[in-house]
Structure 1
């Protein structure tokens, strides 16, 4: 892990040292689009699913319950969040199907963490806006998508069809938690897709409150 990544890990641990205990309860009202993404994952039988920035493992647990025929993997840079994630996975009785690790999204070694370097489904839910090197994180996630697989992303949009005062208030509030919605996410998605030979789809949700992207790999 680089010095910059270690600094980011310490910052995230500080942010979530206490918030992790109420994170899922408070975030469910405004992290819109997460559940629709999970419903669309549809991994193949025996498939592998990776969440980049798994936080409390809320998404992994929901997905594992929905797709009982798949194996799930997740990593996060915050060891504080992972402590909560491990407890949540154990409490859900899913330790045999969900594997967790600590890692940096901007440059991770999936083979070292999980013993595999490709996944049928990769997803990032409200993580892009919290990663300083988010462009590298998208490229790194795209690099582990298996043939026929997808990388799916949902995160804050630019509130482009919502009132301007709302946008100012929301962005000011998010900044308190080191969250920065990425104005050029669509362009970066297109660039990463071209470089990786993936097909990109981009969709604003809820009048631009959230943005959703899918990068799909063809079959060899």
Structure 2
């Protein structure tokens, strides 16, 4: 699907992938810390993270080699190839030490990817697994849209289905449950009248 869409992905998605910049602003990794994005796509978020936190080392994985081709070009053009490392991998099963030389990361980011991964709970569990002690998992995705007009919700979900996107209405609850099992505290926001959900789980 992304063989052609990757060329216009960032230009078109900026209008409806809301909350991504707020997620980046809230990361605040420690000096010299590491940030992993699961489902990094075109590298748009990683570039913003690297620029916002110049002392952090950034990593990204995606299952689509087509998207990674665009990400590599974007990272090189931004002059950030020394600080952003990219790899192809499945979000539901990956070995970070093999890919990046690290077992855990201070911040793990999943931005509008869980709604595109059928076994999304497995991907969520993998994301939590690689959060370092004292680190945090940051997720933004489509919310339950509970405060939006019903006609708008129906039209949005029909349109999203054309791109194999399925909002996860119980995402916040899943993060809280998984975080609790890992001893993590969690918090959730539902900005834009529930259009998006932003969840953060912090390990002790």
TM bracket, shorter-chain basis: over 0.9
2:48 match: 62
TM-score, scaled relative to structure 2: 0.98
Moved over 4 A (4+): none
Q: CA deviation at 1:183?
A: 1.4
Map 1:31-110 onto structure 2 (within 5 A).
31-110=17-96
Q: CA deviation at 1:49?
A: 0.3
Structure 2 CA distance for aligned equivalents of residues 194 and 180 of structure 1 = 25
Structure 2 CA distance for aligned equivalents of residues 203 and 180 of structure 1 = 19
Q: CA deviation at 1:24?
A: 0.3
2:171 match: 185
Instruction: Please say if 1:166 is aligned against 2:152.
Output: yes
Q: Once structures 1 and 2 are overlaid, which stretch shifts more, 186-195 or 150-159?
A: 186-195
In the comparison of the two structures, how many residue pairs are matched?
A: 204
SS state at 2:190 partner: strand
Q: Deviations over 1:135-176 (max 9, x none)?
A: 011111111111111100000011100000000000000000
SS state at 2:26 partner: helix
SS state at 2:169 partner: coil
Structure 2 CA distance for aligned equivalents of residues 19 and 68 of structure 1 = 30
Match of 1:200 among 158, 175, 186: 186
1:10 match: none
Structure 1 CA distance for aligned equivalents of residues 171 and 53 of structure 2 = 29
Provide structure 1 residue ranges, at least 5 long, that are not aligned to the other structure.
1-14
Structure 2 CA distance for aligned equivalents of residues 66 and 214 of structure 1 = 19
Provide structure 2 residue ranges, at least 5 long, that are not aligned to the other structure.
none
